[in-house]
Amino acid sequence: MSAIVPKVSGSFLSSIKAAAQTTTIDVWADFLKLQISANTKRTYASALDDFFTRLTGSAANPQQIQEFLLLTQFEAVGVVLKYKGLLLDLGLAPSTINTRLSAIKSLANHARKLGQCGFSLEDVTHVHVEKYRDTSGVGVEAYRAILQSLDRASVKGKRDYAILRLLWDNALRRGELVATNVGDLREGKLWIIGKGKTQQQSIDLAPRTLAALEEWLVVREGAANEPIFIALDGRSYGKRLSGRSIARVVDWVAADAGVTKHLSPHRIRHSSITTFLDASGGDVRTAQRLSRHSRLDTLMIYDDNRQGLQGKASGVLADLV
C-alpha cells in the first residue's frame, strides 16, 4: 500500500523559502555567531577588518563583503593570495597569517553553504608553522619565588595567587581560565571549555589549588553565572579579565619577583608540562591528561626537548669522527 503524500500549499512553501533567504548582513552576523568562543569572534572580526582595510582602505562593511562574495573563483583566489603576500612581506608570524586566512576562508565557506558565494578558497594554503619549537619555560625555584612574592592578605594578591596556581598546577590555557564562571567550581573540580571544544570538561584540583581558588572566591562574592576572575581597578572594575589581562598579570608579578626571563601564560603551561615530565621520569600518557593535548605526538616534542635528544645524537656523531 503506497504512502499518502500530503499536499503542500503554495503559501507554506513561499513562507519557508522566504525564511531561508539570507542577506549579506545576515551572512556576516550568522558567521560570527557560529564561532565557538567570544575570543574567536573577536579574532575573526579583527582579521576580516584587516583584510578589507589593507585591500580597500576601509574596515569590513556589508557592501564590501557582498562585493567580495560575488567575485569569480579566479578573482577571489587572486585577491586572497595578494593579501597573503602582503602579510608575508610584513614579516608577520605564520600563526598570525594563518589565523587571518582562516577567518576569510571560513566566511567564504559559510556564505557558499547559504548560496551567497560561488567560489572556494581551498587553493589558498596556509603558511607552514613549526609548532612548539621552544618548550622551555621557568624553573620550579623561580616559580615558587613568584608565588611567595604575592601579598596574599590583599584582594588582588588572592586573585593573582589563584590565577598563577591554576596556570601552573593544571597547565591551563589562558582562554580556558578566563572563560570560567563562579558556578564552574563544583565538588572540588573546575569545569572548563577546552581549546576547540563546545562542551565543558572537568579537571581535578590539587588541595593547594582548590584552597587558593576558594580563598579568592570568598572575597570575590560572585553569582554562579559571573566570571571567576575580574578586574579590580579602573573603569573595567568587576568585568571579566581578558586573555591579555591575564598575560599582563603574569608579566607584572614575574617582574615584581625579579624574574628576568619573559614569562607568559603559555610559557607557564610549557613549564608545567616539562616539569611534570622531569618529575615523573617521562610519563607522557599522564602528561597528556594534564595538558589535554589531543595528539600524543605533541607531548613527544616536549619530552624530546626535555631530554635534549637532538644534542645527544649530535654528540655521538661528532665523537665518531
299 CB-side CA count, 13 A? 21
> Is 237 in the active site?
no
User: Using alpha carbons only, how large is the chain's radius of gyration in Å?
Assistant: 25
> Is 240 in the active site?
no
Q: How far apart are CA 222 and CA 238, in angstroms?
A: 10
Give the 3-state secondary structure of residue 307: helix
State the catalytic residue, choosing from 165, 267, 269, 270. Answer: 269
Question: Chain-centre distance of CA 227, in angstroms?
Answer: 18
State the catalytic residue, choosing from 42, 266, 292, 306. Answer: 266
State the catalytic residue, choosing from 159, 174, 267, 293. Answer: 293
State the catalytic residue, choosing from 197, 240, 292, 306. Answer: 197
Residue 242 is given by DSSP the state P
Residue 227 is given by DSSP the state B
Q: How far apart are CA 305 and CA 136, in angstroms?
A: 8
State the catalytic residue, choosing from 173, 174, 267, 270. Answer: 173
> Is 197 in the active site?
yes
Q: Which long-range CB contacts under 8 A does 12-20 form with residues at least 24 apart?
A: none
> Is 132 in the active site?
no
Of residues 74, 75, 70, the one with CA closest to residue 111: 70
> Is 270 in the active site?
no
Q: Confirm if 107 and 23 have CB atoms less than 8 A apart.
A: no
> Is 126 in the active site?
no
Q: How far apart are CA 234 and CA 127, in angstroms?
A: 40
- Write out the catalytic residue numbers: 173, 197, 266, 269, 293, 302
